[in-house]
Structure 1
Amino acid sequence: MKKSYYLFNPGRMSREDNTLKFAVTDDNGNESSTKYIPVETVDNLYVFGSLDTNSTLYNFLGKEHISVHFFDYYEHYTGSYMPKDYLLAGKMIIAQTNVHSNFRERLSLAQKLTEGAAFNMLKNLRYYNNRQKDTSEQISRIEFLTESILSTTDIDMLMGIEGNIRSSYYEAFSIIINDFEMGQRSKRPPSNEINAMISFINSLCYTLCLDMIYHTQLNPTISFLHQPGERRYSLALDLSEIFKPILVDRLIFSLLNKKQIQASDFDHKLNSCLLKESGRKIIVKSWDEKINETIKHRSLGRNVSYKHLVKLECYKLTKHILNIEEYKPFKAWW
């Protein structure tokens, strides 16, 4: 079974036959230890330290359809190496472009995406509200805002409502999470522990969505809720809105409330808070376990992983764009 590999240490990667050789290096470029990774076990690579390699390796990774995602010192996602789009089809690109260009069709699809995200946020808040965490004020506010989604007349208006929904949702984090305060949402740089975790795991969710899009005929640069010009792979941003409450936020609540991540796992600097390597390793291990965990799918009648749920969402978008079946956003039932 293929899996993700997370590279935290700086190192040098090369190809040896059908194996990836990763040599950890020190500040002077001297190799200290070496790990060999059979290429058939690699789904994708996440690079958090400096990586020294060459075009020969990337040609090899491209042929094996292995993507590489890069993060900077501040844990921000900076970009991806994506192999050649081997599943892209002209018919699909034209249809996807037509939906984006049609004002009413794009707005309708963007509203559905926003509705799905709001539903999953409310699902989280109601869960904790029933467990002695009073999130009733935030629930009422989001319910009120959700009612106005379908009455929006353009994307900017819809994005404004989506922003207000998420702002109200984040207000509840300090109620749900023990021992840590959320405060205002801050990204570059994160101002405290919760913000640092949100930014880091949001990036993991974004790259997961990008990987799943890559394995379908969808074009990741043509989006519906977010403007394509904002980021290169803006469709991944659209999809991640739906799955962040389920994959990202629930993981944050669990890790902090169960004290798997503690204050000692963060590095506080001037006006910023970053995860230490110890914290990042705990998170990526829990993230991998989470996305590979399976649940009984109500429609399919079989167990599917959370990771596969994202791919299924891509297939649903594909069917909608090709006028096969109307898109209905994923809504958590547990």
Structure 2
Amino acid sequence: MPASQTTYQVQNSLYVMTPGAYVHLDNTTVRIEIERETRLRVPLHHVGSLVCFGNIMVSPALMHRLADEGKSLILLDSSGRFKARLEGPVSGNILLRQAQYRANENKNGSITIARAIIAGKLRNSRSVLLRGARETQNADESAQLTAAAESLAASLRAVPGSPDLDSLRGTEGEAARRYFSVLGLIVKPAMREHFSLPGRSRRPPRDRLNAVLSFLYSMLMNDCRSALESIGLDPQLGFLHAVRPGRAALALDIQEEFRSILADRFALTLINRSQLTVKDFDQREGGSVLLNDQGRRAVVAAWQERKLEEITHPLLETKVPIGILPFVQARVLARFLRGDLDGYLPFLAKT
């Protein structure tokens, strides 16, 4: 996949978060009205997908137009949890999907892809910890981060010998627990009173940092799913995550490589730079913590800017926008499934 033969365009998702907003089509423009007052106009060709949080009204004409142009309408609840997705007819090469189904049914082929995904995840997670160890001014915390990174290195060495998916998932699960046990040390000391991370918690998140991570993971998963669909892969049929009705298992697979280097590192940056504060979160009954409307807007705006920043892709050996990294990996997976590559090559960030 030479860089000279590949053209990428980052099309931003349009996020609508104000309850009661009405989104409709005005010729070739998407218009957003709140209490019958126009608040935003966006040319439709600039919109890659429309993402609606909570109680948002979308006109039938816009739904049809999105479907006709292969753009997705994604419905999330007010906290950012996935609810539904509307899209047009499935596109893509049926031969590619057949190759995907055959690889999934072949235990050796399936475990090979799953091992590569977990190897990429562990190496990228280790990169985040080592970077944190280098940047901290506290020698003891640097030692803890380095020790956790070495533990992940041991898990990484165990991946090739994992005989089956259960064993591989066990290795990944233990590594994830070790990773999250020290990730909070990368938060600046001055911010830790309000942004601690005792471990990973979800459904619901129990602290502010976990709330940010869950929200970012949801947006990242949607980007991965769009990437897979854009080249004709079936996002429901994965190799690492178990297949369940309504679950985009392959999108979750691809997401694993990017969790630490895109979502986790980005969340830490938002907190350490005070782009998120206590005022951006709400405490709910039962102990759950969620981003409020102000917080979600801040994260979405920063996330969209982040996706436009460029990074050198190790396989392409050229700079590409961060927003298209999932699309590049979807193409790499497709090439492997077609037999053009000897193995699936996960995305690896620089250490």
SS in 1 for 2:289: strand
Equivalent position of 1:4 in the other structure: 13
SS in 1 for 2:24: strand
Asked if the contact 1:247/1:290 (under 8 Å) is kept, the reply is no
Asked if the contact 1:110/1:224 (under 8 Å) is kept, the reply is yes
Asked if the contact 1:74/1:189 (under 8 Å) is kept, the reply is no
What's the CA shift for 1:59?
1.3
Corresponding letter in the other structure for 1:200: F
Q: Tell me, which stretches of 5 or more residues in structure 2 are unaligned?
A: 1-9
Tell me which of 45, 48, 52 is aligned to 2:50.
45
Corresponding letter in the other structure for 1:62: A
What's the CA shift for 1:130?
1.4
Equivalent position of 1:323 in the other structure: 339
Q: Quick one: distance in 2 between partners of 1:173 and 1:66?
A: 36
- Any idea what the Cα deviations from partners look like across 1:123-157, whole Å, max 9, x if unmatched? 01011111234202311221222221122121122
Q: Quick one: distance in 1 between partners of 2:317 and 2:178?
A: 35
What's the CA shift for 1:185?
1.6
Tell me which of 196, 199, 220 is aligned to 1:184.
199
Q: Tell me, which stretches of 5 or more residues in structure 1 are unaligned?
A: 26-30
Equivalent position of 1:84 in the other structure: 89
Whether 1:210 aligns to 2:225 is yes
Corresponding letter in the other structure for 1:80: R
Equivalent position of 1:175 in the other structure: 185
Equivalent position of 2:3 in the other structure: none
TM-score, normalised on structure 2? Answer: 0.89
Q: Quick one: distance in 2 between partners of 1:315 and 1:129?
A: 34
Asked if the contact 2:66/2:87 (under 8 Å) is kept, the reply is no
Corresponding letter in the other structure for 1:113: I
Q: Quick one: distance in 2 between partners of 1:36 and 1:130?
A: 45
Equivalent position of 2:33 in the other structure: 23
Size of the aligned set, in residue pairs, is 328
- Any idea what the Cα deviations from partners look like across 1:239-273, whole Å, max 9, x if unmatched? 00001111101101111111111112111122111
Greater shift, 96-105 or 153-162, is seen at: 153-162
Equivalent position of 2:250 in the other structure: 235
Q: Quick one: distance in 1 between partners of 2:248 and 2:313?
A: 28
- Any idea what the Cα deviations from partners look like across 1:2-58, whole Å, max 9, x if unmatched? 422110112222222222232224xxxxx3444332211211112113122344321
What's the CA shift for 1:291?
1.4
Corresponding letter in the other structure for 2:17: F
Q: How high is the sequence identity, in percent, across the aligned residues? A: 25
Tell me which of 297, 303, 307 is aligned to 2:313.
297
Corresponding letter in the other structure for 1:185: R
Asked if the contact 2:23/2:30 (under 8 Å) is kept, the reply is yes
Asked if the contact 1:247/1:291 (under 8 Å) is kept, the reply is no
Asked if the contact 1:209/1:236 (under 8 Å) is kept, the reply is yes
Q: Quick one: distance in 2 between partners of 1:155 and 1:2?
A: 35
Corresponding letter in the other structure for 2:55: S
